[in-house]
Structure 1
């Protein structure tokens, strides 16, 4: 026998030694008088297990020790833990359970150290459950399975007491519910099946009773909701203090269902305190609460948003009707109609401000309410008002703000704010290109006739439009502003040219604005036969311009010109501010005392429409510079005209307006023409990239591409497709006529 051969430890002897250690551990856990484990005690127990597991067969007792580990835990639970739990009830049972679960975890931890060699080698080789798992399984099988229903009921009873306002030990509940989670070893199955399901059922019943009582007691929706919202807040606190976070959506859904869903219709429709009533009475806090509360109940979000949308629509429609009624009552007075339309735009802006504030402040900027507001205003802003589109009215509204001498002068800051609000309304308008054309026409008049109150505001508005609608939207308008600056520089050069060339004398004070055709709206251009007094000026300017460039042709737009001429009347001379057409007509009377309608028309080379307009302004309007025979209020081709030499007025300087032409029709025609080009370009772009495409798909893609500027109707697109087929840009498929092919 070798000297170093280890003595065999048999099972009974070894386990008897281990039992002493286990008893000592139990005594410590039970609080009995016992010395703590020293490192020597621990090492002796560990080495005993090690030796018993590393002896050669048949003395390797690994399996037996593994079984005895489980048996010792089961024996302790059966003899000590269960009796102590069975004799206690309710909260006392819960406290005992927390203590026993804590002791059990300590016991498993210490025993796992003593039996550690089993975990490292024996269990790993045999693929058996680890010692810690065996410890949990013992507690689950013997304690948890027996007490889970009692524990769950006791916890829920405490939660209900807390709901009624009693103070409870939240830390105790947290520790108990942690047991449900820990016993599942990382899974929430036991927590969900053995506790959470019962909690949800109890919560639904509890809040069903509460809601039933409140709804019959309370006269007003806000009072009911105040209570209900407080309950919801308390449930959230409960979750944060002791329930598992995974319970939050399920518990809140149960509470919301009983408090909101079941009684939502009654709350919404209460006569004096429902949603409609709160909206009408502008009860901010109660309205916010109602939206906040119901925003949690998904099925009621849509009805709430629809009620809100209908409210906005009704108020907006009332504004439109009010404006149309005012326009009908003022048919004869165009100025009054314009004023009423501008008042309408102001009220529309106020309405938008009001309900944007509702959405932001009272509805927590919820996207459903944003969408409801957008849809209501899109429908509203794409209606006609008294024969005018809101796109046109917005352009006119801006013109009134930006023009010199507008009736109500706003501060610079107020103007900026108002322009910002107009641009926000513009986002709802489908026909943004129509607004752009009206705005461009009015901007052109402000720039050309020096009617713009402030250049900074003009540029600021263009910047706002550019940010909202893109660079293409404002490119022509920006070109106009730049063009005018260059035109003024050009005029300065012309004046220098005249001072340096004494022979180049136009004979009159002449100011010419040279503009780029592409930027500005199109204007009628006639070969007006200018009076001799003006012809020289035109020739001198043409000679000057040719010194600057020989590659550009000047096209004179006399319809935009103004002249200051002296009228030598018998009472006294007066300065007349007139258009170029009016001046040309008046200057004919320097060489003739009397002229017929046809003579004036022939000498000026104008159309009947233009001759009628200018002769009416000079002989039938406020200032009768010409006398007409017969003396009627309308112009006829048989009329005769004379210079009214005895005309007089208290002013020494008068402006004789020419009746404005109806530009609306021309703007709409121009926009329609531009749309045809835009649709053609879009179709060609799409087909060039796709080569072959289904007819319906092409229409849909075209609508999508053009939508930011205007909403083309399908009929217009189909018409342009036919036109492009006729011009050999596209062809239909031979086998399938709905298939279109691009022809390069």
Structure 2
């Protein structure tokens, strides 16, 4: 076997130089045949042999150095001179061509010298051939020309911003050099190009904005700003690196929007207030889109939205207060009509601005919050002594009861109830609304005043969806109670027909309710007339046959009676309360009774006796004659049956004067709040076992905040009560630390 001949360095490199020269000629466009596979193999094998010969003829290090020197010589002799003689766009084109050729040269030489990469470089942990080739261009070409290139590119971008056509493909290729020269890192692109480009962008748009803000209306300015942002985004997609997009847009947004935000939004005839006033929904949507992109931009827009809406709410409230004070001397139903009109106007105003929140402002929470805060003057202040909770509950009552003030279609009722629930969500003390609504619902149910059971159930469903099952649990129980009560009445009729020896003597309807669901009502041991006593006994016997171990508690203050009044002119049917009926029946056995005698025989407290006697002797229907004939009831008065009373109707209803239940409602709400605070504290402590006072208060406020704002003093009082009841105990070493007692 023949021993292979040694290739010496000079001999081998001379052969390699011929191949490298041929490659350079091809790159320079000189007439030169392409590399054949045989040419390529000869060059590759030459390097291979020179690297695998035994020392001292292993020329790996020398070839590694000559690889780099080949690039350096070509760049110094050919590339740099060609770049130095060109300027601006021509220089950019030449750079792109030279970079493209350089990458080809690196690729070919890397193949020729591939054996170095596989063995020598790997063992010596030297930079790979490809990186060495690129580094040569970076150190000799890029470092010299990058400043001129950057300025030329920025100038072309400026020209494009000014409306001139430029070669975008050229810019893309040039900027790719800034990226590729980093060999996986973005520092060259960012430091040598991007930072200057961003400064130039800021200066450009700062100049534009300073003119536009003076010359243009707010909508026109926003159109220009939006178009500018769109074009800058377009630039990124065509030639800037994708990593520049956010930084570039932030610069433009800062100069066009952040700097002039206040001035733009407050433009007198075209700013945010004017756009809202003139219903410019497209411009408002654009305002949202633009200001959502800048820091705290939506804070400013939502604040102005609130400032625009709040005065309209304030005006409505003031008009309602003025109207209420003017109507004080008028009839109560006229005042009620005014309240109904006021709530309707509040709903209409909310309807007017809610679409802006949902559509123009993309349903953003900041604008829902702004709308809520704008309506707070109504929701948490009320009108002329009536809280918004009471007004909204009364409004619902007038819609849902028979013969209400408003006559609406079924669809309109559903729509209105939906809107009321949205307003209730703004009220800080939702328990107050719940209690007022519950009392109104109770009267509708007990007096059969509900116009439509479906609507009653519908609003309860809406309230449950908005505020949770606990909010409506008692109300749902009331509706269920009435259904059961009707069934119970049917059973009672059946009981009477099956037991002919049992009879109440007079027509009797009893509604049995569950105490926990209904508002608390006064219950006195009224001395019933004998006829009514028999009725009570008969029903009690029936009920005990059906349900044992349950006590019936009679609420006479809710009862009604139909009695016949025999007057000289004619006999008339009187529809009265159980209290009134009991008082009138006293005159079957007495012609004349004093106030004290009536009170004693009925066993009722003063205020109830005054109310019922006033309704019978001083109001519209004077069934009793009072001595002396004054408009007020006093303990020294005497009463006689008015046999001469007459009316064109044969059937009249004698109502009791209305009782202001506000105080009672507030007391009920306070009680419910105490229970809610107790439950919250116990829930928290049960899960945490041990907790400090401040943390317990904070978590309790957070838990209950969606229903009402609990007072810290009230929470402290409930904690003390729970300690007394042995649900909690104080830590012996720290009085501000509490433990849960299972």
TM-score between the two structures when normalised by the length of structure 1: 0.95
Contact preservation (8 Å) 2:460, 2:475: yes
- 1:29-86 Cα deviation digits (max 9, x unpaired): 2333333222222222211111111111111111111112112222222233223322
> What does residue range 722-737 of structure 1 map to in structure 2 within 5 Å?
722-725=720-723, 732=730, 736-737=734-735
How far apart in 1 are the matches of 2:613 and 2:61?
A: 123
Q: Give the aligned partner of residue 290 of structure 2.
A: 293
Q: Give the aligned partner of residue 532 of structure 2.
A: 534
Q: Give the aligned partner of residue 513 of structure 2.
A: 515
> Is 1:197 matched with 2:195?
yes
CA shift in 2, pair 1:304/1:626, >3 Å: same
Deviation at 1:692, TM superposition (A): 4.5
Deviation at 1:420, TM superposition (A): 1.5
> What does residue range 209-228 of structure 1 map to in structure 2 within 5 Å?
209-218=207-216, 220-228=217-225
Deviation at 1:605, TM superposition (A): 1.7
Query: In angstroms, what is the RMSD of aligned CA positions?
Result: 2.1
Match of 1:415 among 413, 416, 421: 413
Contact preservation (8 Å) 2:337, 2:405: no
Q: Give the aligned partner of residue 360 of structure 1.
A: 358
Match of 2:232 among 235, 241, 245: 235
> What does residue range 53-64 of structure 1 map to in structure 2 within 5 Å?
53-64=51-62
Q: Give the aligned partner of residue 472 of structure 2.
A: 474
How far apart in 2 are the matches of 1:109 and 1:242?
A: 25
CA shift in 2, pair 1:276/1:636, >3 Å: same
How far apart in 1 are the matches of 2:126 and 2:372?
A: 65
Listed as ranges, the gaps of 5+ residues in structure 2 are none
Contact preservation (8 Å) 1:363, 1:369: yes
> What does residue range 355-394 of structure 1 map to in structure 2 within 5 Å?
355-378=353-376, 380-394=378-392
Q: Give the aligned partner of residue 91 of structure 1.
A: 89
Q: Give the aligned partner of residue 102 of structure 2.
A: 104
Listed as ranges, the gaps of 5+ residues in structure 1 are none
Contact preservation (8 Å) 1:402, 1:454: yes
> Is 1:167 matched with 2:165?
yes
Q: Give the aligned partner of residue 316 of structure 2.
A: 319
How far apart in 2 are the matches of 1:370 and 1:592?
A: 67
Per the alignment, in what secondary structure is the counterpart of residue 522 of structure 1? coil
Q: Give the aligned partner of residue 271 of structure 1.
A: 268
Deviation at 1:184, TM superposition (A): 0.3
Q: Give the aligned partner of residue 309 of structure 1.
A: 306
How far apart in 2 are the matches of 1:37 and 1:406?
A: 100
Q: Give the aligned partner of residue 599 of structure 2.
A: 601
Aligned residue-pair number:
741
Per the alignment, in what secondary structure is the counterpart of residue 563 of structure 1? strand
Deviation at 1:492, TM superposition (A): 0.7
Contact preservation (8 Å) 1:626, 1:644: yes
Deviation at 1:332, TM superposition (A): 2.7
Range moving further from structure 2, 456-465 or 628-637: 628-637
CA shift in 2, pair 1:97/1:338, >3 Å: same
Match of 2:327 among 326, 330, 336: 330
- 1:704-744 Cα deviation digits (max 9, x unpaired): 23323221111222233344455565555565444445566
Q: Give the aligned partner of residue 251 of structure 1.
A: 248
Q: Give the aligned partner of residue 697 of structure 1.
A: 695
How far apart in 1 are the matches of 2:263 and 2:429?
A: 42
Deviation at 1:137, TM superposition (A): 0.5
How far apart in 2 are the matches of 1:540 and 1:732?
A: 55
Deviation at 1:493, TM superposition (A): 0.8
Deviation at 1:299, TM superposition (A): 4.9
How far apart in 1 are the matches of 2:299 and 2:672?
A: 40
Contact preservation (8 Å) 1:292, 1:364: no
How far apart in 1 are the matches of 2:255 and 2:738?
A: 58
Per the alignment, in what secondary structure is the counterpart of residue 298 of structure 1? coil
Contact preservation (8 Å) 1:313, 1:380: no
Deviation at 1:378, TM superposition (A): 4.4
Range moving further from structure 2, 695-704 or 660-669: 695-704
Deviation at 1:477, TM superposition (A): 1.0
- 1:573-592 Cα deviation digits (max 9, x unpaired): 22221111112222222333
How far apart in 2 are the matches of 1:477 and 1:604?
A: 33
- 1:552-608 Cα deviation digits (max 9, x unpaired): 111111111112222222222222211111122222223333322222222222112
How far apart in 2 are the matches of 1:36 and 1:540?
A: 121
CA shift in 2, pair 1:217/1:481, >3 Å: closer
Per the alignment, in what secondary structure is the counterpart of residue 575 of structure 1? strand
Deviation at 1:689, TM superposition (A): 4.8
How far apart in 1 are the matches of 2:616 and 2:19?
A: 126
Match of 1:462 among 460, 463, 466: 460
Deviation at 1:436, TM superposition (A): 1.1
Contact preservation (8 Å) 1:571, 1:648: yes
> What does residue range 144-159 of structure 1 map to in structure 2 within 5 Å?
144-159=142-157
How far apart in 2 are the matches of 1:684 and 1:214?
A: 62
Per the alignment, in what secondary structure is the counterpart of residue 524 of structure 1? coil
CA shift in 2, pair 1:611/1:292, >3 Å: same
Q: Give the aligned partner of residue 12 of structure 2.
A: 14
